[in-house]
Structure 1
């Protein structure tokens, strides 16, 4: 499994579109106005019985949500905000890059079908973990690379995965991924949920999200859904 950073740069560098969400507010298939807090709420981080949760940030959550939802053993994915220091985050506030929040995904999964270490492999296979506060055409602290851990064992596994990714030759530069506690997760506005699925004609989805998704499927060696 090897991500070719040059390929990423060629794909993303040629794009003329603005950041995730900001490029596409005029194409939202919803009556909800971007920037308002309809649907934004703090999520209970207790997993359902027999299930588990994991949280990651790796650039635009439109891309990340679609990728993790395709992994066998994943039940559902929520796009939202985590890692910040202000109250009541909204997309408009997070997009300023001053709240500390990162666009994140909360992954609900069946640990009998997919392990946490395997989800960490998905994480590193699905984005460029060497670009600080940047992913493709999106720039700002809200697009940084983060693994949010919920326990000491998850922290240890995250640190091991980071070391393994560095040693594997997957990346040609130092990994800048942060490994921090998962203290809170806020569900993003409803128009962000399953955005890639419902907005296939959106230029950002076609030229950033889908190309990143296709690159992931070429490099990831784990099991995906049919």
Structure 2
């Protein structure tokens, strides 16, 4: 009986830790109306969180039609998050990327396919060795059409896997650009042990899954 109580208590403890980001302020973010980002010079923007932003930035920059991918923070309830503050897990933010793309070359729908193909979709609060609410998976929508696309693909993937897909679906509010030293990290630091052992293998797994969407030089 004591063992059972300990197991229940442990499960509750981990459950609380996994949902630590959901307080009243965070719930307001989840329930907010989405903010739609206007197109500029024929380019649109989309926002994704999927573990370490170094990895995700490199994945999206390999895709045809993507002009640039920027590392930053999104999904939280605090202003001006930093790498240090987001790592506490108390800001509500996740490491995220802003993807600037040409919708005449690549659709939002394809970007969502890239998102799911480039991660472990069932891992909760993290990707690979990076764990915590700041590394959780979130897809951000800017309007009902985008939300419908996301939910359709998420539901189809859950049916295919027979397991829940961990990605949360949030209305986009604001993207906070990360510190300069995080930008283009994989490209600028190819010999970094994390890049060698985590980022590059993750990128290569994605490339094998979706070779048809890759830029010619990738």
Q: TM-score range by the shorter chain?
A: 0.7 to 0.9
Do the aligned residues in 1 keep the contact of 2:37 with 2:142 (CA within 8 Å)?
no
2: CA distance, partners of 1:214 / 1:49:
31
Offset of residue 173 of structure 1: 2.9
Q: TM-score, normalised by structure 1?
A: 0.77
Offset of residue 140 of structure 1: 0.5
Q: Which residue of 2 aligns with 1:152?
A: 144
2: CA distance, partners of 1:193 / 1:138:
18
The answer for unaligned runs of 5 or more in structure 1 is 1-43
Secondary structure at the counterpart of residue 222 of structure 1: helix
Aligned residues: 181
Within-5 A mapping of 1:57-72: 57-72=49-64
1:188-219 deviations in Å (ceiling 9; x for gaps): 00000000000001000000000101111111
Secondary structure at the counterpart of residue 213 of structure 2: coil
Q: TM-score, normalised by structure 2?
A: 0.80
Secondary structure at the counterpart of residue 147 of structure 1: strand
Q: Which residue of 1 aligns with 2:11?
A: none
Q: CA RMSD in A?
A: 1.4
Structure ID, larger Rg: 2
Q: Which residue of 2 aligns with 1:83?
A: 75
2: CA distance, partners of 1:138 / 1:121:
22
Within-5 A mapping of 1:1-226: 45-167=37-159, 169=160, 171=161, 173-226=163-216
- Give 1 or 2: higher helix fraction: 2
2: CA distance, partners of 1:201 / 1:220:
25
Offset of residue 134 of structure 1: 1.6
Higher relative contact order (CA 8 A, sep 6+): 1
Do the aligned residues in 2 keep the contact of 1:77 with 1:106 (CA within 8 Å)?
yes
1:106-131 deviations in Å (ceiling 9; x for gaps): 10000000001100000000001211
Do the aligned residues in 2 keep the contact of 1:47 with 1:108 (CA within 8 Å)?
no
Offset of residue 172 of structure 1: 5.7
